[in-house]
Amino acid sequence: MSAQEERAQAALAAAKAAVANVLEQTGQILTISIVLLVFVVVSTALRMYVRLGMLHRFDASDWSMVVTFLLSASQCCSAIAVVMLGREAVVGRPRSVGLTSGLSKWSTGTFALALVALKISLGFFFLHIFSHKRVQRYFIITLVILSTITGIAYFVFLCFTCTTLLKPPGRDLGCPIQPYGEGVFYTFSVIAFTSDYLFTLMGMFALWKAKLPVHTKVLACFLLVIAAAGGIASTIRFALLVRPITPQNFRQSTYDVGKWTIVEHAVGVIAANLAMTRPLVSAFFKKVRGHATTLSGNKSGGTHGMTGGRAGTGPGSGYMRGQEASGDVRTVENNGEAYLLHEIKKEVAVNVDEEKADQKEGSQGSRELDFERDYVYGRPRRM
Identify the pLDDT of residue 23: 87
Query: Based on the domain organization, do 243 and 291 belong to the same domain?
Result: no
Query: Based on the domain organization, do 175 and 52 belong to the same domain?
Result: yes
Identify the pLDDT of residue 326: 46
How far apart (Å, rounded) are the C-alpha atoms in residues 86 and 376? 54
Identify the pLDDT of residue 298: 64
- Residues near 172 by beta carbon (within 8 Å), at least 6 away in sequence: none
Cα three-residue angle 256-182-102, rounded to 5 degrees: 65
Query: Based on the domain organization, do 202 and 303 belong to the same domain?
Result: no
Query: Based on the domain organization, do 233 and 262 belong to the same domain?
Result: yes
Identify the pLDDT of residue 238: 93
How far apart (Å, rounded) are the C-alpha atoms in residues 66 and 280? 19
- Residues near 332 by beta carbon (within 8 Å), at least 6 away in sequence: 282, 283, 286, 377
Identify the pLDDT of residue 81: 92
* C-alpha 85: how far from chain center: 29
Query: Based on the domain organization, do 309 and 169 belong to the same domain?
Result: no
Which residues constitute the domain of residue 302?
282-380
Query: Based on the domain organization, do 267 and 318 belong to the same domain?
Result: no
Of 60, 231, 228, residue with least CA distance to 147:
231
The phi and psi torsions of 62 (rounded to 5 degrees) equal -75, -40
How far apart (Å, rounded) are the C-alpha atoms in residues 29 and 81? 11
The helix or strand, by DSSP H or E, that contains position 283, with its residue range, turns out to be: helix 278-306
Identify the pLDDT of residue 53: 87
Identify the pLDDT of residue 97: 66
The phi and psi torsions of 14 (rounded to 5 degrees) equal -65, -40
CA dihedral 189, 110, 137, 270 (to 10 degrees): -90
Query: Based on the domain organization, do 335 and 204 belong to the same domain?
Result: no
Identify the pLDDT of residue 136: 86
Identify the pLDDT of residue 382: 43
User: Mean pLDDT for each 10-residue chunk of the chain (383 residues)?
Assistant: 75 81 90 96 94 88 95 95 86 71 90 95 87 87 95 95 87 85 94 89 78 71 73 91 89 92 92 81 70 65 50 46 46 41 48 44 44 38 41
Is 118 in a helix, a strand, or coil? helix
- Residues near 133 by beta carbon (within 8 Å), at least 6 away in sequence: 348, 352
User: For helices 134-160 and 178-209, what crossing angle results, to 10°?
Assistant: 150
The model's pTM is: 0.74
Query: Based on the domain organization, do 196 and 57 belong to the same domain?
Result: yes
How far apart (Å, rounded) are the C-alpha atoms in residues 207 and 9? 65
Identify the pLDDT of residue 286: 73
Query: Based on the domain organization, do 367 and 336 belong to the same domain?
Result: yes
State how many domains the chain has: 2
The helix or strand, by DSSP H or E, that contains position 375, with its residue range, turns out to be: strand 375-376
The phi and psi torsions of 376 (rounded to 5 degrees) equal -130, 120
- Classify each residue of 93-110 as buried b or exposed e, where b means 16 or more C-beta atoms within 10 Å of its C-beta: eeeeeeebeebbbbbbbb
Identify the pLDDT of residue 337: 40
Query: Based on the domain organization, do 77 and 113 belong to the same domain?
Result: yes
> Where does a domain end: 276, 310, 329?
276
CA dihedral 307, 310, 315, 319 (to 10 degrees): -150
SS (H, E, C) 323-364: HHHHHHHHHHHHHCCCCHHHHHHHHHHHHHHHHCCCCCCCHH
> Where does a domain end: 252, 276, 300?
276
The phi and psi torsions of 130 (rounded to 5 degrees) equal -100, 40
Q: Which residue(s) pair with 376 in the sheet?
A: 379
Query: Based on the domain organization, do 302 and 288 belong to the same domain?
Result: yes
How far apart (Å, rounded) are the C-alpha atoms in residues 156 and 154? 6
Query: Based on the domain organization, do 16 and 76 belong to the same domain?
Result: yes
**379-380 and 375-376 beta bridge pairing:** antiparallel
CATH number at residue 62: 1.20.1070
Q: Which residue(s) pair with 379 in the sheet?
A: 376
> Where does a domain end: 276, 303, 329?
276
